[in-house]
Amino acid sequence: MADEASKKPEDVSPFANTTFSFTAPQGGVTGPFPSLSGFQQALADAAQGAAEEEGEEEVAPEVQVRIEYLKKLQQEREVFMDAFHEERKALVKKYALLTAPLLSKRQALLKGAIDVKEEDGQVVEKPVEAAAGEGEEGETSPPKGIPNFWLRTLMSHRLIAGMVQEEDVGALKYLRDVECVDKEDGAGFSLHFHFAQPNPYFTNPVLSKAYEVPNLMDDEEAILQACAGTAIHWVSSKQNLCMEEKRMKPKGKSRGGVVVKQIKKESFFNWFEAVDIPEDPEDVEEEEYEELMGKLDYDYAVASILREEIVPEAIKWYLGEGEEDESEYADSVGESEEDDEDESVTESSDDDEPSPPQDGLDEEGGEGVEVKERKAQMH
Which contiguous run of DSSP H or E holds residue 155? helix 149-155
Return d(Cα 373, Cα 151) in angstroms, integer. Answer: 14
Answer yes or no: are the C-beta atoms of 307 and 273 closer than 8 Å. Answer: no
Q: How far, CA to CA in Å, does 49 sit from each of 37, 81, 209?
A: 18, 30, 45
Domain edges within the chain: 62-131, 146-236+268-378
Please report the DSSP string for 19-56 in residue order.
----PPPTT---SS-TT--HHHHHHHHHHHHHHHHHHH
- Quick one: DSSP state of residue 351? T
Cα-flanking dihedrals φ and ψ of residue 232, to 5°?
Answer: -85, 130
pLDDT, position 346? 39
Is the bond preceding 198 in cis, omega lying within 30 degrees of 0?
yes
Answer yes or no: are the C-beta atoms of 154 and 313 closer than 8 Å. Answer: no
Return d(Cα 12, Cα 35) in angstroms, integer. Answer: 24
pLDDT, position 299? 95
Largest CA-CA distance found in the chain, in angstroms, rounded:
97
pLDDT, position 326? 63
Return d(Cα 251, Cα 169) in angstroms, integer. Answer: 37
Q: Please give the sequence-ordered ranges of beta strands (E in DSSP) within the chain, or none if there are none.
A: 115-119, 122-126, 175-182, 188-195, 206-212, 226-228, 243-248, 259-264
Return d(Cα 128, Cα 110) in angstroms, integer. Answer: 12
Topology of the domain comprising 146-236+268-378: Arylsulfatase, C-terminal domain (3.30.1120)
Answer yes or no: are the C-beta atoms of 88 and 79 closer than 8 Å. Answer: no
Answer yes or no: are the C-beta atoms of 329 and 159 closer than 8 Å. Answer: yes
Beta bridge partners of 191: 180, 209
Please report the DSSP string for 277-332 in residue order.
--S-GGGS-HHHHHHHHHHHHHHHHHHHHIIIIITTTHHHHHTT-----GGGTHHH
pLDDT, position 53? 59
Q: What is the pTM assigned to this prediction?
A: 0.68
Burial of 224 (0-12, 13-18, 19+ CB in 10 A): buried
- pLDDT per position in the chain (379 positions), as tens? 445 444 444 444 333 433 333 343 333 333 333 444 555 666 667 666 666 655 567 889 999 999 999 999 999 999 999 999 889 889 988 999 999 999 999 999 998 889 988 888 899 888 776 444 444 555 667 788 899 999 999 999 999 999 999 999 999 999 999 999 999 888 999 999 999 999 999 999 999 999 999 988 887 788 899 999 999 999 998 899 999 888 777 776 555 677 778 899 999 999 999 988 887 777 788 888 888 888 999 999 999 999 999 999 999 999 999 988 765 555 555 444 444 444 433 333 344 444 433 344 443 334 444 444 444 444 4
